[in-house]
Amino acid sequence: MILLLGGTAEARELAALLVARGAPVTSSLAGRVAHPRLPAGAVRVGGFGGPAALRRWLAEHGVAAVVDATHPFAERISISAASASRAAGVPLLRLQRPGWTAGRGDRWHWVDDLPAAAAAIPGLGRRVLLTTGRQGLEQFAAVDEAWFLVRCVDPPEAALPVRHELLLDRGPYTLAGEGALLDTRAIDLVVTKDSGGSLTRAKLDAARERGVPVIVVRRPARPEAETVGDVRAALHWALAHS
Write out pLDDT tens, residues 188-199: 999 999 999 888
CA dist., res. 15 & res. 157, Å (int): 31
DSSP string, the chain: -EEEE--SHHHHHHHHHHHHTT--EEEEE---SSS--PPSSEEEES--SSHHHHHHHHHHTT--EEEE---TT-HHHHHHHHHHHHHHT--EEEE-PPPP---TT--EEEESSHHHHHHHGGGT-SEEEEES-STTGGGGTT-TTSEEEEEESS---S---SSEEEEE--S---HHHHHHHHHHTT--EEEEE---SSTTTHHHHHHHHHT--EEEEPPPP----EEESSHHHHHHHHHHH-
For Cα atoms 126, 195, 107, give the angle at the middle one, nearest 5 degrees.
40
92-95, strands of its sheet edge to edge: 42-45, 25-29, 2-5, 65-68, 92-95, 226-228
Residue 104 neighbours by CB distance under 10 Å: 5
Mean pLDDT of 53-73: 96
Q: Give the pLDDT of residue 136.
A: 93
Domain locations in the chain as residue ranges: 2-98+221-241, 108-217
Q: Give the pLDDT of residue 242.
A: 84
Domain over 2-98+221-241 is classified CATH 3.40.50.1820: no
Say whether 108-217 and 2-98+221-241 share the same fold: yes
CATH class of 108-217: alpha beta
Write out pLDDT tens, residues 38-47: 999 999 998 8
Q: Give the pLDDT of residue 57.
A: 97
Write out pLDDT tens, residues 12-27: 999 999 999 999 999 9
Q: Give the pLDDT of residue 34.
A: 67
